[in-house]
Amino acid sequence: MKTPSTITKIMALAKKEARDILQNRIYLLVVLVQVFIIIGAVGLVAVAAVASDPALLDQVGVTSALNIGLPQNLEGSSLSKYLEEEKITLNYYNTTDEAKLELGTKLVAVVDLSSSGEVVVQVDTSNVFYPVVSTKISDAVDKFNTEKTLKNAGLNESQVNIIQNPVNFQEIKINQDNQVPLALDSPYFVEVIYGFIVPFILLLPFFLASNIVTDSVVGEKERKTFEVLLMTPLSSYMVIIGKIIPILFFSLIQSIAWIAVLDLLRVPIFNPGLLVLVLFFMGLAFIGVGILISMLVDSTKEANSAITLVLVFATFILFIPLFVKSEIFQGVFNFIPTVLMVKLAVSPNIRPEIMLYLLPTLIISFLIFVGTVRSFRHERAIRL
Amino acid sequence: MKLNMNFSIITRWEFKNTLKSKKFLLIFFMQLSVLAMLIFMFNSFAANIESEKGLSLTPSLVDFATLDVDDQGGLFKKSIDQEIIKIYSTNGNSSFLRIEAGETNGLYTVSSDSIVRIQNGEIVDTVLYLDYADPRRSVIRDSINTTTKSVSSALTQSYLQSANPSNNTPQAGLKEEKTGESLPMQIIKKVMLVVLLFLPLFLFGNIIIDSVVGEKERKTAEILVAMPISPGEILLGKGLAVVAISALQVVMWIVVLIAAGFTINNVILVYLLVVLTAVPIVGLTSIIAAYAKNYKEAGIGITFAYVMVVGFLIVPALAYISRKSFSANISPMTTVMRLFAGEAITIPEILMSVTFVIILSIIFFGIATWLFRRDDVLFGPRPGPVKLTLQFLRIKKR
């Protein structure tokens, strides 16, 4: 049981550390830079989402960028009519070969009708609008082919209607009064934002905290104030807690602020309380590893190299599972905290049992914490 | 000639000293293991993307959303993309309760007699009930739209066949001929490889920082300054040692990359250009090292500086992929990318980045030496950055 005086002592150490951090102007600048990174990331994904979604592109009205080339003899044909309906800009040339010269510069594709009645398309796959143009062209060609076949079949109007639209689709909205405002109602946007950007942004403060953390012990060793720290009348546990609290607290505050910023940018984040809990334990692990490395190395040079390596490995373990599908490892992936963060952030209603997936992270951060304390005790034993 | 010998002594001394440290060697080789991991991830990532229709860089999101599906005929259920959406087969009775409880994001119903209707050539009705309180609604809507479209066009084709059994019109299809490698693939192959090639240059800034800032912190800078070598030579000596170590690591990385099956054309030219780029990076690091008071400042300054350097290197290379412009060659990354891809590249284009790199090296080392020569920067009290800049531009007198 901690007595009040012990808590006062820890708070004194924590306050000193906090002052050191806040006086570091560069750290404060870095916090500000993160806001720009967030806005930039969300904006970039929004632009990419619009560029890859035909419906959104039509809404935004970027038709002028979707240029395809056709030979003059196709002007006024039903194929060109269907292509125009798809909101593509048609450019006519005397011959198809003339059009092909502009492929890759002005034109995304060149469409021609062969003598056998087959539609031949040449596309520039390196163009950023290729997927959208490809979809639109195939839709137009489908309609063109259907129309051609129907003309030869001699069917009545209702039969034609059924053949062209055999499936009736209706969408009914539920819970519209609780409708969440989304920056962009696009699947690509939702997938990339929640599947990668949200965990990345929420973890940024912890990645950037590692620079501060390595200084915490190695810096003390080099400035010859480490022995003073070893002599403080506090148990090793309390010293480590005192060192961890400030940076963990600041990083958590930043993450909470970023949740608010994302909400403002119309990327609603659900279950913020549970997310903060996950971030707390992840932060404990990150910062704990930073302090541990700090104690094991002799110089800041080595500490910086080591923490860089650790961050690289951490990035792999935390972010690669978000992009990889693996039947063997899928079960294991559920225990990775970033995967849990994605599920928490995107689900308005969540079953509390999902937090059981946090157990391995909890255990690992606890072990790191204990390891750090042990290391500090060891230092006390050999240096004093 | 005595001048040259002096700084080469420092270079040799620093080089030997660094390589002697066991911990440094450990980290040096661990970085190679990081490279091996990067190669492995890159290969599996590229294979994963190539196997999917429509190359796109999206997260995998297994079981991202759940959808209740009531499709007794099974035709529509089969076409739903099950990688992102988890399907829960149901007769729809409990689905609305499940939506309220958050156990599912929607209900998709298909007419129960869908197969019969198809056989009679009648329209099939489908309804999607979507929970709008959930952001995943757009993912589900998009997936069901795709399903509807694909089943629809399959049905259209089969109806056309049955309406026209003696189909005289040739089955006009769509023949697509592709030119140019798809954009995401290009980004992955070229940009990732060029980033891997330049990565070693950023891993050794710590040596310079320790070299210079360490002298300040250990209070041995006075001794160094008292030596009969000019500050410029000291910095140059230390800098070249780091360039030599980076050159060593780049060579090892290139060997590993080639052994892993990557094709690198014009290897020697690529290697020389990468190592040459190390020089201004070390120069910039020296400026930060000369100005920083302690390791903490230096560390954060380096983080910022390297992020900007990476930006300057990579943005022209990315821009070059989408629009081949001459000015993108100002970044050595673009030139290296074109060289190892075996593209036809002219001498002026190569010279553009080489000249840029050399000019930057001279500028950076010049500034670093100017700072290092000053007692107030080395020992304090250190003037602020604005004052220093004004003095450098000779606007303000010292």
DSSP string, A274-327: HHHHHHHHHHHHHHHHHHHHHHH-SSHHHHHHHHHHHHHHHHHHHHHHHH---T
Peptide bond into B383 cis (omega under 30): no
Residue A147 identity (one-letter amino acid): E
Contact in structure between A165 and A115 (CB atoms under 8 Å): no
Each domain of chain A, given as residue ranges in start order, spans 3-50+186-381, 55-164
Residue ranges of B 256-295 with Cβ closer than 8 A to chain A: 294-295
CA of A324: which chain B residue's CA is closest? Answer: B60
From A273, A235, A297, A246, select the one nearest A355 (Cα to Cα).
Answer: A273
A242: its two tokens: 């005192």
Closest CB to A155 among B60, B163, B217: B163
- Could you tell me if B31 lies within 8 Å of chain A, comparing CB atoms? yes
- CA atoms of B276 and B279, how far apart (whole Å): 6
**Cβ pair A150:B160 closer than 8 A:** yes
- CA atoms of A4 and A15, how far apart (whole Å): 16
* Mutation for A interface: B39, B151, B183, most A CBs within 10 A: B183
* A2 to chain B, closest Cα gap in Å: 33
**Cβ pair B152:A350 closer than 8 A:** no
* Mutation for B interface: A52, A120, A169, most B CBs within 10 A: A169
Contact in structure between B265 and B301 (CB atoms under 8 Å): no
**Cβ pair A320:B294 closer than 8 A:** no
**Cβ pair B160:A124 closer than 8 A:** no
Please tell me the predicted confidence (pLDDT) of residue A282: 93
- What proportion of chain B, given as a percentage, has pLDDT over 90? 10
| Better-predicted residue by pLDDT, A375 or B22 | A375
Please tell me the predicted confidence (pLDDT) of residue B98: 86
**Cβ pair A211:B296 closer than 8 A:** yes
**Cβ pair A162:B206 closer than 8 A:** no
- CA atoms of A37 and A29, how far apart (whole Å): 13
- Could you tell me if B210 lies within 8 Å of chain A, comparing CB atoms? yes
* φ/ψ of residue A35, rounded to 5: -60, -40
Residue pointed to by tokens 């080789």: B29
Q: Mean pLDDT over all residues of chain B? A: 80
pLDDT band (50, 70, 90) for residue B49: low
Q: Which residues contact B87 (CB under 8 A, 6 or more apart)?
A: B66, B67, B69, B77, B80
**Cβ pair B133:A308 closer than 8 A:** no
- For residue B123, list chain A residues with Cβ-Cβ distance below 8 A: 162, 165-168
**Cβ pair B102:A146 closer than 8 A:** no
**Cβ pair A219:B126 closer than 8 A:** no
Closest CB to B136 among A114, A169, A346: A346
**Cβ pair B148:A169 closer than 8 A:** yes
Contact in structure between A113 and A74 (CB atoms under 8 Å): yes
**Cβ pair B58:A175 closer than 8 A:** no
What are the tens digits of pLDDT across the range A283-332? 999 898 888 888 888 777 678 778 877 888 888 888 878 877 666 777 78
B93: its two tokens: 């009775």
* Predicted confidence (pLDDT) at residue B53 exceeds the cutoff of 50: no
**Cβ pair A162:B209 closer than 8 A:** no
CB pairs < 8 Å spanning A and B = 284
pLDDT band (50, 70, 90) for residue B171: very low
What are the tens digits of pLDDT across the range B251-298? 988 988 888 778 888 889 999 999 999 999 999 999 998 888 877 788
**Cβ pair B60:A166 closer than 8 A:** no
- CA atoms of A301 and A160, how far apart (whole Å): 76
Residue ranges of B 289-348 with Cβ closer than 8 A to chain A: 294-297, 299-301, 303-304, 321-322
Please tell me the predicted confidence (pLDDT) of residue B180: 63
Please count the other Cβ atoms lying within 10 Å of the Cβ belonging to residue A218.
26
Residues facing B107 on adjacent strands: B68, B129
Please tell me the predicted confidence (pLDDT) of residue B172: 47
Can you count the helices (H) and strands (E) in chain A?
17, 5
Residue by residue, DSSP assigns A162-221 as HHH--EEEEEEEESGGGPPP-S---HHHHHHIIIIIHHHHHHHHHHHHHHHHHIIIIIHH
From B52, B236, B110, select the one nearest A167 (Cα to Cα).
Answer: B110
Q: ipTM more than 0.90?
A: no
* A5 to chain B, closest Cα gap in Å: 32
Closest CB to A347 among B102, B168, B172: B102
Closest CB to B156 among A126, A146, A333: A146
What are the tens digits of pLDDT across the range B282-291? 999 999 988 8
The stretch B145-165 carries a mean pLDDT of 81
- For residue A152, list chain B residues with Cβ-Cβ distance below 8 A: 164, 168-169
- For residue B303, list chain A residues with Cβ-Cβ distance below 8 A: 30, 211
Q: Which residues contact B244 (CB under 8 A, 6 or more apart)?
A: B11, B15
Residue by residue, DSSP assigns B158-215 as HHHHHH-SS--S----EEEEEES--HHHHIIIIIHHHHHHHGGGGS-HHHHHHHHHHH
CA of A198: which chain B residue's CA is closest? Answer: B59
Closest CB to B297 among A26, A186, A187: A26
Please tell me the predicted confidence (pLDDT) of residue B186: 65
* B161 to chain A, closest Cα gap in Å: 9
A298: its two tokens: 């002799």
Residue by residue, DSSP assigns A336-379 as SHHHHHHHHHH-SS--GGGGGGGHHHHHHHHHHHHHHHHHHHHH
What are the tens digits of pLDDT across the range B295-353? 778 877 888 888 888 888 888 887 777 667 777 788 898 889 888 888 888 888 888 88
Domain A55-164 CATH assignment equals 3.40.190? yes
- CA atoms of B194 and A252, how far apart (whole Å): 36
- CA atoms of A247 and A95, how far apart (whole Å): 68
| Better-predicted residue by pLDDT, A59 or B246 | B246
Please tell me the predicted confidence (pLDDT) of residue B54: 41
- Could you tell me if B200 lies within 8 Å of chain A, comparing CB atoms? no
From B200, B360, B351, select the one nearest B279 (Cα to Cα).
Answer: B360
* Predicted confidence (pLDDT) at residue B140 exceeds the cutoff of 70: yes
Question: A29 exposed, middle or buried (CB, 10 Å; 0-12, 13-18, 19+)?
Answer: exposed
A193: its two tokens: 């934002």
Burial B73-84 (b: 16+ CB within 10 A, else e): bebbbebbeeeb
**Cβ pair A167:B163 closer than 8 A:** no
Burial B25-62 (b: 16+ CB within 10 A, else e): eebbeebeebbeebbeebeebbeebeeeeebbebbbbb
Residue ranges of B 377-396 with Cβ closer than 8 A to chain A: none
* Predicted confidence (pLDDT) at residue B51 exceeds the cutoff of 60: no
Contact in structure between B257 and B274 (CB atoms under 8 Å): no
